[in-house]
């Protein structure tokens, strides 16, 4: 189902996330999981499968159905020294907790002049492409990246799902951990003890000489596929996986863009006011004299997430990416 | 026969076992019809005189604190001050009902409760002065920062109390709220979580009649705010919020119940905000003078003085001591707020993340350069 995780023996991203939670809970008694249906059911995506059985209903807690209550309770737990990992059941159902997130989770360290850091990880199954009905497919990263005080992380590979979740739980700052739900079931070999780049570093998933596709999360496999298809057109595309939106790896992004001079940012969230706009602006400000073409964006449409039978028109696919690459003003191609 | 015909039910063999069966008899959870009082009742005779004298002392000092802070806003020394004048009994009793290891979760109007808890009176005003968002170390004084978004501190109190209970620590959390705050979703979510988790937490609603301009009748149609507890499965208690020993007694009972594993309580204290919402508000636009005058008769400081004197528990010496202490505090507030504080602009970047992001480092370098240029320009002007 994904170019990164070809269907073969190995772990799914869902299993890697489950392993990360389990290992973190085994190593550190202060790690507590809470959310809706995370207990005996194991979460609607089974990411918390088996945690209540192993660690008991206090450390993997089925809460009442109330997102502000869940996150607000996690704030108090963190104030008392625990490391809560909150599961929001779906992207669009995290919105009731927005006030707790913006007014408290993101700001408590700052409000208390450094005395009450909140080591909370908020896991959000996010994005579309799974045929979900409305409110089950939102890409909400721009809301979070616009909120100082939050880290925003989006893994795209099985290894990163494990490594970045461990790093997020270990972080002394709150982390919004965006799980691309359409990549949950793709398989890949992964070694939990293999080193993973820390939060804040982008990774080049494919080298190239013509232009770079800058992306993250669920759009990574699409970009890799587009890069394969582009070869037929004579374009050799690099693919850069950001992995983390906050902190943002200006250094790597600028190094790659300067060396190639052409860049396309790809994400499935709506484009207007989205993270692609931020990335394009940053790249233009820093690499202007190295650019052979404007930085282009390929994003979802500026519409509420569409019904499943129409979602393929919304989601940026290979063709739209290749169209953008074609618009990069190739002086040697008519 | 309609579906709702009662005869239908007589044949139902009771509730099936399982998760949907009714569990709790609501009667013991219901608040008494009239608020609990101690002043002017025989209960006063039985009250510990030392506690009564301490409550009196804190009321007097607290009233002076409210007055002085309000004056400081007029002089531009505080950006804003939401006075708790008229509500001092709730504030001092809240602090006194807690043990040293317990946690207080105040809202913006509860500076006096924070001070009464032992936080330095000037540090408690840091937020309202505009220097920083919090002036004290919350962990050291077991007091959360003053909370501005309404009711959002209530789930924090639940989470902290829950974590403390899991750790086996005998810690209780007390969340302070206003009547308007009880309409917010976070209030309901917090009560529900607290009851389901049986967290050792107490919610004190200071019903002072108004949420800015909106009277309680436009805020809630409940028989009382204390009644809201019953639907969540916790006891609701109604108390005269201007009767300091009554608030102290009801809160102490709730705190001890929570500590003993008895779960949460919702307390509604009936009180009145004698001043405007803040110094920036004009209360004459939404309430009549007669109403304020009537409540002045029920002033918590006057009530305490009158009843303690009648019971022979208040002597001139204590009155003099409390007045002196109050004046000394007011003088200290005036003196220390006389000058502008020196603030370091670079501190803006210090506490956003454990490690500043590369983006913040860049912005910090830019601000540092701006400041250096400013200093150089000033030095040039002086030469
Ligand atoms: C979530 C939120 N909405 C609105 C406000 C603006 N606001 C500040 S105080 C207030 C009234 C609160 O009334 P109440 O809860 O009765 O407390 P009181 O001020 O009377 O102590 C309002 C609407 C706020 N602080 N937070």
Q: Do B156 and A172 touch (CB under 8 A)?
A: no
Which region holds residue A231: left if phi is over 0, alpha if psi is between -120 and 50, else beta? alpha
CB of B186 less than 8 A from some CB of A: yes
What average pLDDT does chain A have? 95
For the stretch A133-186, pLDDT in tens is 999 999 999 999 999 999 999 999 999 999 999 999 999 999 999 999 999 998
Least confident range from A9-23, A52-66, B191-205, B249-263: namely A9-23
Contact B176, B110 (CB under 8 A): yes
* Parallel/antiparallel/unpaired status of strands B210-211 and B214-215: antiparallel
Q: Which of B180, B185, B215, B272 to mutate to test the pocket of ligand 1 (most atoms within 8 A of CB)?
A: B180
Q: What is the DSSP letter of B267?
A: E
Alpha-carbon span B232 to B29, nearest angstrom: 10
Which chain B residues are Cβ-neighbours of A173 within 8 angstroms?
A: 353-354
Q: According to the model, what pLDDT value does residue A332 have?
A: 54
**Which pair of structure tokens corresponds to residue B87?**
């509500």
Phi and psi of B175, rounded to 5°?
Answer: -105, 130
For the stretch A258-277, pLDDT in tens is 999 999 999 999 999 999 99
> Which atom from ligand 1 is nearest to the alpha carbon of B84?
21
Q: According to the model, what pLDDT value does residue A333 have?
A: 47
Residue A331 pLDDT grade (very low, low, confident, very high; cuts 50, 70, 90):
low
B175 vs A101, A241, A293, B166, B251, CA distance in Å? 19, 45, 57, 19, 11
Q: What is the DSSP letter of B279?
A: T
Which chain A residues are Cβ-neighbours of B156 within 8 angstroms?
A: 72-73, 75-76, 79, 104
Contact A149, A174 (CB under 8 A): yes
Per-residue pLDDT 10s for chain B (383 aa) are 344 454 444 444 566 777 776 677 899 999 999 999 999 999 999 999 999 999 999 999 999 999 999 999 999 999 999 999 999 999 999 999 999 999 999 999 999 999 999 999 999 999 999 999 999 999 999 999 999 999 999 999 999 999 999 999 999 999 999 999 999 999 999 999 999 999 999 999 999 999 999 999 999 999 999 999 999 999 999 999 999 999 999 999 999 999 999 999 999 999 999 999 998 899 999 999 999 999 999 999 999 999 999 999 999 999 999 999 999 999 999 999 998 888 999 999 999 999 999 999 999 999 999 999 999 999 988 76
DSSP calls for A76-128: HHHHTT-EEEEE-SSGGGGGGGHHIIIIIITTHHHHTTTS-----EEEEEE--
Alpha-carbon span A12 to A160, nearest angstrom: 12
Q: Is the pLDDT of residue A109 over 70?
A: yes
Q: According to the model, what pLDDT value does residue B279 have?
A: 86
List the single residue in B134, B189, B359 with the smallest CB-CB distance to A66: B189
Q: Would you tell me how many other CB atoms lie within 10 Å of the CB of residue B370?
A: 11
Q: According to the model, what pLDDT value does residue B1 have?
A: 38
Alpha-carbon span B325 to B60, nearest angstrom: 9
Contact A145, A246 (CB under 8 A): yes
Which residue's alpha carbon is at the smallest distance from atom 12 of ligand 1? B211
Helices B88-97, B300-310: inter-axial angle, 10-degree rounding? 70
Alpha-carbon span A38 to A48, nearest angstrom: 6
Q: What angle do CA B173, B175, B178 make, to 5 degrees?
A: 170
Among B residues 282-321, those touching chain A with beta carbons less than 8 Å apart: none
Q: Do B163 and A69 touch (CB under 8 A)?
A: no
Mind spelling out the 3-state secondary structure of B131-186? CCCCCCCHHHHCECCCECCCCCHHHHHHHHHHHHHHCCCCCCEEEEEECHHHHCHH
Nearest to B59 by CA among B78, B101, B87, B25: B87
Over residues A175-201, mean pLDDT: 92
Q: Is the pLDDT of residue A233 over 80?
A: yes
Which chain B residues are Cβ-neighbours of A79 within 8 angstroms?
A: 138-139, 144, 156, 159-160, 163
Contact A38, A84 (CB under 8 A): no
Contact B107, B177 (CB under 8 A): yes
Q: Is the pLDDT of residue A291 over 70?
A: yes
Segment (H or E) for A178: strand A175-180
pTM listed for this prediction:
0.93
Q: Is the pLDDT of residue A194 over 90?
A: no
| Residue B277 annotated among the catalytic residues of the structure | yes
Which region holds residue B176: left if phi is over 0, alpha if psi is between -120 and 50, else beta? beta
User: Within its chain, how far is the Cα of A124 from the centroid?
Assistant: 9
Q: What is the DSSP letter of B263?
A: -
CB of A63 less than 8 A from some CB of B: yes
Contact A207, A214 (CB under 8 A): no
Q: According to the model, what pLDDT value does residue B15 have?
A: 67
Beta bridge partners of A80: none
Q: Do B193 and A58 touch (CB under 8 A)?
A: no
How many angstroms is it from B212 CA to the middle of ligand 1? 7
DSSP calls for A218-276: THHHHHHHHHHHHHTTT--EEEEE--EEES--HHHHHHHHHHHS-EEEEEEEESTTSHH
């Amino acid at each position: 189902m994904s170019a990164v995780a070809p269907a073969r023996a190995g772990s799914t991203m869902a299993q890697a996330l489950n392993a990360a939670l389990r290992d973190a809970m085994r190593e550190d008694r202060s790690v507590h999981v809470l959310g809706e249906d995370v207990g005996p059911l194991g979460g609607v995506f089974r990411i918390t499968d088996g945690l209540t059985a192993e660690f008991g209903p206090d450390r993997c807690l089925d809460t009442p159905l109330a997102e502000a209550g869940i996150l607000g309770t996690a704030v108090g737990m963190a104030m008392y020294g625990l490391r809560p990992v909150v599961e929001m059941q779906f992207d669009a159902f995290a919105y009731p907790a927005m006030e707790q997130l913006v007014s408290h989770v993101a700001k408590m360290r700052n409000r208390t002049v450094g005395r009450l850091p909140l080591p909370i990880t908020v896991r959000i199954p996010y994005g579309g492409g799974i045929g979900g009905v409305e409110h089950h497919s939102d890409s909400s990263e721009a809301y979070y990246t616009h909120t100082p005080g939050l880290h925003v992380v989006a893994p795209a590979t099985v290894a990163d799902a494990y490594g970045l979740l461990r790093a997020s739980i270990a972080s002394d700052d709150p982390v919004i951990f965006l799980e691309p739900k359409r990549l949950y079931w793709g398989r890949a070999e992964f070694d939990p003890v293999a080193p993973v780049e820390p939060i804040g570093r982008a990774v080049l998933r494919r080298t190239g000489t013509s232009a770079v596709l800058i992306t993250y999360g669920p759009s990574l496999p699409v970009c890799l596929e587009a890069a394969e298809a582009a070869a037929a057109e004579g374009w050799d595309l690099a693919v850069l996986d950001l992995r983390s939106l906050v902190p943002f790896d200006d250094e790597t992004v600028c190094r790659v863009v300067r060396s190639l001079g052409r860049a396309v940012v790809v994400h499935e969230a709506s484009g207007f006011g989205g993270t692609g706009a931020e990335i394009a602006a940053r790249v233009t400000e820093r690499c202007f004299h190295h650019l052979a073409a404007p930085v282009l964006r390929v994003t979802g449409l500026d519409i509420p997430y569409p019904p499943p039978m129409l979602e393929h028109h919304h989601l940026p696919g290979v063709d739209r990416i290749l169209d953008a690459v074609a618009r990069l003003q190739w002086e040697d191609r008519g | 026969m309609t579906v709702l015909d009662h005869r239908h039910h007589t044949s139902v063999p009771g509730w099936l076992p399982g998760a949907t069966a009714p569990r709790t008899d609501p009667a013991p959870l219901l608040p008494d019809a009239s608020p609990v009082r101690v002043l002017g009742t025989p209960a006063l005779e039985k009250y510990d005189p030392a506690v009564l004298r301490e409550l009196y002392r804190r009321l007097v000092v607290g009233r002076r604190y409210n007055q002085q802070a309000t004056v400081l806003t007029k002089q531009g020394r505080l950006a804003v001050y939401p006075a708790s004048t008229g509500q001092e009994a709730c504030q001092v009793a809240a602090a006194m009902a807690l043990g040293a290891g317990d946690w207080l979760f105040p809202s913006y109007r509860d500076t006096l409760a924070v001070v009464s808890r032992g936080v330095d009176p000037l540090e408690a005003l840091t937020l309202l002065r505009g220097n920083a968002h919090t002036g004290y170390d919350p962990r050291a004084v077991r007091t959360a920062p003053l909370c501005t978004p309404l009711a959002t501190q209530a789930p924090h109190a639940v989470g902290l109390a829950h974590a403390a209970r899991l750790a086996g620590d005998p810690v209780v959390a007390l969340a302070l709220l206003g009547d308007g705050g009880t309409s917010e979703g976070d209030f309901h979510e917090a009560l529900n979580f607290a009851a389901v988790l049986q967290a050792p937490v107490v919610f004190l609603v200071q019903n002072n009649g108004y949420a800015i301009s909106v009277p309680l009748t436009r805020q809630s149609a409940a028989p009382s705010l204390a009644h809201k507890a019953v639907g969540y499965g916790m006891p609701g208690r109604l108390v005269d919020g201007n009767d300091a020993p009554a608030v102290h007694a009801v809160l102490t009972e709730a705190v001890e119940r929570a500590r003993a594993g008895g779960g949460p309580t919702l307390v509604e204290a009936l009180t009145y905000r004698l001043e405007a919402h803040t110094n920036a508000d004009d209360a004459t636009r939404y309430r009549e003078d007669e109403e304020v005058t009537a409540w002045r008769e029920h002033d918590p400081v006057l009530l305490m003085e009158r009843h303690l004197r009648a019971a022979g528990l208040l002597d001139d010496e204590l009155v003099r001591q409390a007045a002196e202490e109050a004046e000394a505090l007011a003088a200290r507030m005036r003196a220390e707020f006389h000058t502008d504080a020196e603030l370091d602009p670079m501190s803006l970047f210090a506490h956003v993340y454990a490690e500043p992001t590369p983006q913040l480092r860049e912005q910090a370098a830019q601000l540092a350069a701006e400041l250096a240029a400013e200093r150089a320009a000033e030095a040039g002007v002086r030469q």
